[in-house]
Every structure is written in C-alpha cells, then in structure tokens.
Amino acid sequence: MAERLSAIALVPLTLWFVASLIAHAGASHAGFVAWLASPAPTIAVVLLLIALFYHAALGLEVIVEDYVHGGWKLAALVFVRLGCFAAAVAGILAVLRIAFTA
C-alpha cells in the first residue's frame, strides 16, 4: 500500500519537475538557481525527493527480500534503508542550501 501511495505522489511531482526542467532548459545557471530558490519549487523538489527515495527504498527492500538469503539479508536491508535515507538527506540539504543562499 505504501508503495502505491508513494507512486501516486510521484506522478504529478515528476511531471511537474520534468515540465519545469523543459521550461528552464535555456535559462542560465543563475536563472535556474533563482527559480529553484523561490518557495514553491523548493517545497515541490523536497517533496519529490522524499517520495522518490521512500519509493526506491520500498522497491529495493522487496528485491532484497526476494533474492537475498541467509545472514546477508539483514545487512542488505539496513544498507538499502540507510543508503536511501542518506541520498534523500543529501538531496534535500542541497536544495535547501540553494534556497537559503541564493
């Protein structure tokens, strides 16, 4: 159920993000950073990162549970969860740094 809900959340967020990238394709770096620093895009990108890495963690856990056996299963599950959490935090911190320093 959580996987489906995160997938539903990802659809509009991903479509918005792709459309925004296309709309700002010709913009300079400074223009893109200024756009990303505004409140609505910052919030939307943070929500996208949360939904994306949560969905990825759920999917990767299913793969580990299906194909990893023995003592490695717990280690792989912890690695997947921590890796997705670390990637989400890194992405969110990068977006917030742009938002608060631009």
| Alpha-carbon torsion (40, 46, 50, 52), positive or negative | positive
Mean pLDDT of 78-83: 97
pTM for this model (two decimals)? 0.91
Mean pLDDT of 25-52: 94
pLDDT at 25 over 90: no
Hunting for tokens 């990303």 — which residue is that?
A: 36
Residue 27, pLDDT score: 87
As a whole number of angstroms, the distance between CA 46 and CA 51 comes to 9
Quickly state the pLDDT bin for 8 (edges 50, 70, 90).
very high
As a whole number of angstroms, the distance between CA 13 and CA 20 comes to 10
